[in-house]
Amino acid sequence: MINMLLKTLKYPTPLSFGKVPDLIREGVRLCGSPVRKIHFLFLLFTLLYIIPSNIFSQQAKFKASFGLSLSQIDNDGMSGYHKNGLTAGLATQFPLKKNMLWSIGLKYVNKGSKKIYGEFGPVGGNGKWEIARLQYIDVPLTFTYVYKDRFHITTGPLAGILTGGNIEFTPFTKTPALDVFKRVEAAWILSASYNFTNNWFVQVSTETSYISITKGDNRPHFQRYFGHMNDNILIELVKVFDSK
């Protein structure tokens, strides 16, 4: 990983798109190694600055976000966005045309599902899946339409990398999330944001898996009632910074 990044830093010409999947796959591999997780910070730096700055000559802008994540896992017997958590991220943003932008970034998101207090448990009453706490690093590639410099509509695919978490059963037993769910989630995000002052935005997003997140299950979105899918609502404050 270090050697790859050193080569990237020394690149005399723009970095090709062909190098991007290799860097992402390396980051996914490192997420499973607690001893080497610090190396993932190098991947973050690569994705947010080196790759876009080498590929494109336009002026970059940088975005930082922080907020609340409301989530559920479809078809787990506990419907409703009762699992609350945090989200925080960084992204690099580039213009495509006057009212169009594209960006790539990394975002930490708490996902999962939670039983409502006082209920007897999900379907069957067996007490399982009382709460699923899932920790993801999302890698979104998004496109934004700007309306009157105030309203932004954003959409695009993302890869969600499961880095940890657990599923707590009654009575008080835990199963590692990585034993149940896939390491990489395929999802789509749709956001609406409003620029209220000095490049500060309030943003509301909906994010949903389009392939089942359960290991060994590759059901697509239109068969979601037969598989498990992450659904999230993100409410965030976003600050945009000029690169200069």
Return the higher-pLDDT residue of 156 and 45: 156
Residue 171 preceded by cis peptide, ω within 30: yes
Tell me: pLDDT of 127 over 70. no
Give the percent of the chain with pLDDT over 90: 43
Q: What is the reported pTM?
A: 0.78
| Torsion sign over Cα 204, 41, 230, 114 | negative
d(C-alpha 135, C-alpha 165), whole Å:
6
Return the higher-pLDDT residue of 128 and 167: 167
Tell me: pLDDT of 171 over 70. no
Residue 34 preceded by cis peptide, ω within 30: no
Q: What is the pLDDT of residues 42-59, one digit of tens each?
A: 666 666 666 666 655 557
Q: What is the pLDDT of residues 67-78, one digit of tens each?
A: 999 999 988 777
d(C-alpha 200, C-alpha 28), whole Å:
32
| Token pair recorded at residue 173 | 């037993």
